[in-house]
Structure 1
Amino acid sequence: MRRQLLAATLAVAALALAPTLAACTPGGSMSEPTPSASSSTRPPFQTATPGPVAPTGTPTDVPQARWDALVADLSARGVTSTPTLVSAEAVTFSDGSLGCASPGQSYTQALVDGMRVVVTADDQTYDYRFGSDDTPKLCTR
């Protein structure tokens, strides 16, 4: 009884694998992919945002501690003029990159409540991100 069951199982397996094995042997038939009748009208996938991103969060005031940290960071970068606030918004970022990922870096995969603060100084625009603390991250993409 066991031999008959084993023989039947092997026969079914051989029949199931026969088309696959035939396609892999020299001279075997293999179906060609059929071209799609409709071509895609979608634009190519972009991996980075081209240029500055428009505000998307809730407008808010910049706490003094964060403003002071931002001014100190600009000073450390050699910016001499007083920054002018362009926008400040409360944002929930999708991960620890704060919406400004660097290639090859790993980030926490958790929602992060923070801020996006855009300022101008010395005829330049600076896009700063804050997470849960008062440490500014300059987004340079």
Structure 2
Amino acid sequence: MRSLVLLAAVGASLAGCAATATQPTLQPAVHPSPHESLVEAARSDAAGRSGLPAREMKLVALESVTWPDGSLGCPRPGMGYTQALVPGYRIRLQVGREVWDYHASERGGLVLCPPGRAQEPVPGGGRS
């Protein structure tokens, strides 16, 4: 009888250990937000064009905007673009002593827009 009680106690202890064993917890994958990815892409592009390290590119402004068409507010002469509103971003980076203006779509399209070619986004087209 004593062995049966001892065996039951050991069994209960082992069952309790199994129940309290540490279960691995799943951590949500950390993905950068779309605009963070676009800012990094703009930094990388600016670094390649300027020869300066990407870490030296300072973010001056990041705006959520709506572009008037597929040119992302930076049409090239002689090119045709989709005539639909395009949600995106305007990213301004300090590159050396200059501020470079990047226009992007939410889908990842990115263009460096030189001075004199940039168009303004749709008024009131920014999103929260």
Q: TM over 0.5, yes or no? A: yes
Structure 1 runs of 4+ aligned residues shifted over 4 Å read none
CA distance in 1 between counterparts of 2:38 and 2:85 reads 20
TM-superposed deviation, 1:89: 0.6
The question of 1:110 aligning with 2:84 is answered yes
- Partner of 1:99: helix, strand, or coil? coil
Query: How many residue pairs are counted as aligned between the two chains?
Result: 81
With over 3 angstroms needed to count, the CA separation of the structure-2 counterparts of 1:131 and 1:63, relative to structure 1, is closer
CA distance in 2 between counterparts of 1:76 and 1:127 reads 15
Identity among equivalent positions (%) equals 36
**Residue segments in structure 1 that go unaligned for 5+ positions in a row:** 1-60
CA distance in 2 between counterparts of 1:110 and 1:62 reads 21
Q: CA RMSD in A?
A: 1.8
CA distance in 1 between counterparts of 2:79 and 2:69 reads 12
CA distance in 2 between counterparts of 1:71 and 1:119 reads 8
Listed as ranges, the matches of 1:57-136 within 5 Å are 63-81=35-53, 82-136=56-110
Q: Alpha-carbon deviations, 1:70-107, whole Å to 9, x = none?
A: 11101221340511122111111110011111111100
TM-superposed deviation, 1:63: 2.8
**Residue segments in structure 2 that go unaligned for 5+ positions in a row:** 1-32, 118-128
TM-superposed deviation, 1:135: 3.5
Task: Give the number of the structure whose residues are more often helix, by fraction.
Answer: 2
Larger C-alpha radius of gyration, 1 or 2?
1
Deviating more after overlay: 111-120 vs 70-79: 70-79
CA distance in 2 between counterparts of 1:126 and 1:108 reads 25
* Aligned equivalent of 1:17: none
CA distance in 2 between counterparts of 1:113 and 1:99 reads 11
